Amino acid sequence: MSTSETLSLVPNYSPGYGSTPNGDTHNTHKPSSSQTVLHTSPPTPTIRKSIKIVLTSSKINILLIFIPLGYLAHIFDLSDNWVFILNFLAIIPLAKLLDFATEELSLRVGETIGGFLNATFGNAVELIVSVVALMEGEIRVVQASILGSIISNLLLILGMCFVAGGIYHEEQKFNQTAAQTTSSLMTLACIGLIIPAAFNFAVGNNNPIIDDGITKSGLLDLSRGTAVVLLIIYILYLYFQMKTHSNLYQGEEEEEDNDPQLSLGVSIFLLASITVIVSFSADYLVGSIEGIVESSGLSKTFVGLILIPIVGNAAEVN
């Protein structure tokens, strides 16, 4: 029997390896279009490349030149005006780099923990300045800076986000549950600030506060108790966000690539080193407040209410 006669006995046969009765052929060397293709992660950037990424992460990093200038102004005992201005300008890019390092670290630990890191280190500059001011005895500056930070975030930052979003997007969407939770926390924080002030105003009119009197002791107990309650509420909010209702804070997947640019070790080192540098600059900044108030005529309330919040929020505006 010839080869052609043998092939004719096979129904629906078509030449080619791996033929099937319905005529479909399969090539074992050609991958299917639905086959998963594994991609290797990008190589870890070198130290030189990491430094370049950090320095070119924002345009305001050009202000980093003011960091050594602020240190030199303090070392050589220049006027308080120069010390304040140079360290004021130095903290602005440091706040931006702190935000960049936190963002890089957040990309490696997940969205929920990343949100916690952003909320914590996003206010690290104001926290460091406030702690240094408390150590220097600048109570009025700390009180004004807390109020200024709240007003700045509620009005300046949020308002600019609404304006910019309205320009580039016809309709904006947000997480309603998260917004309601945050608004409730903000209301509690405002109440925590108002209650001690109202107590002082109401009692102080009838009973002047004296050093060893009951009124002063009661005011301190009320203030400290309010602070403890607010801290507990914040811890419970973190548990609500990260554990019990973490699904409410999971954002929608975006098509754009958000791979981290820095390695985990570099991100942690950058975060720690910037925090240390900010602490020195904040120390010199707060130390010069007394002199700049006397020479310029500005009040400590104005410095804490307007100038200090600008330092921390300049990175968010950018």
Of residues 258 and 300, more confidence is placed in 300
Of residues 12 and 157, more confidence is placed in 157
Asked whether residue 189 carries a pLDDT value surpassing 70, the answer given is yes
Q: Which amino acid is at 128?
A: I
C-alpha distance from residue 104 to each of 229, 259, 263, 270, 274 (Å):
32, 9, 8, 10, 14
Q: Which amino acid is at 182?
A: T
For residues 284 and 279, give the distance between their C-alpha atoms in angstroms, rounded to a whole number. 9
Question: 116 is written with which tokens?
Answer: 């916690």
Nearest Cα neighbor of 310 from 127, 152, 150 is 152
Contact 204, 152 (CB under 8 A): no
pLDDT confidence of residue 86:
94
Q: What is the pLDDT of residues 272-289, one digit of tens each?
A: 999 999 999 999 999 999
Question: 112 is written with which tokens?
Answer: 């929920």
Of residues 317 and 237, more confidence is placed in 237
- Which residues have C-beta within 8 Å of that of residue 156, sequence separation ≥ 6? 313, 317
Q: What is the pLDDT of residues 114-127, one digit of tens each?
A: 767 777 777 788 88
pLDDT confidence of residue 69:
95
Nearest Cα neighbor of 252 from 168, 170, 174, 167 is 174
Q: What is the pLDDT of residues 13-68, one digit of tens each?
A: 444 444 444 444 444 444 444 444 433 455 677 888 888 888 888 888 999 999 99
Asked whether residue 201 carries a pLDDT value surpassing 70, the answer given is yes
Contact 115, 241 (CB under 8 A): yes
Q: Which of 74-88, 168-182, 246-260 is least confident?
A: 246-260
User: What is this structure's pTM?
Assistant: 0.72
Domain boundaries along the sequence of the chain: 57-175+251-317
| Coil vs helix vs strand at 297 | coil
**What is the chain's mean pLDDT, rounded?**
77
pLDDT confidence of residue 62:
93
For residues 313 and 311, give the distance between their C-alpha atoms in angstroms, rounded to a whole number. 6
pLDDT confidence of residue 65:
95
Q: What is the pLDDT of residues 126-155, one digit of tens each?
A: 888 888 888 888 888 888 888 888 888 888
Kind plus residue range of the DSSP H or E element containing 18 = none
pLDDT confidence of residue 176:
80
pLDDT confidence of residue 11:
45
- Count how many Cα atoms sit within 13 Å of the Cα of residue 66 in the half-sphere of its side chain: 21
Q: What is the pLDDT of residues 74-92, one digit of tens each?
A: 999 899 999 999 999 999 9
pLDDT (mean) for 207-218: 56
Residues in the chain: 318
pLDDT confidence of residue 90:
93
For residues 241 and 236, give the distance between their C-alpha atoms in angstroms, rounded to a whole number. 9
For residues 175 and 241, give the distance between their C-alpha atoms in angstroms, rounded to a whole number. 13
Percent of the chain with pLDDT over 70: 76
pLDDT confidence of residue 47:
82
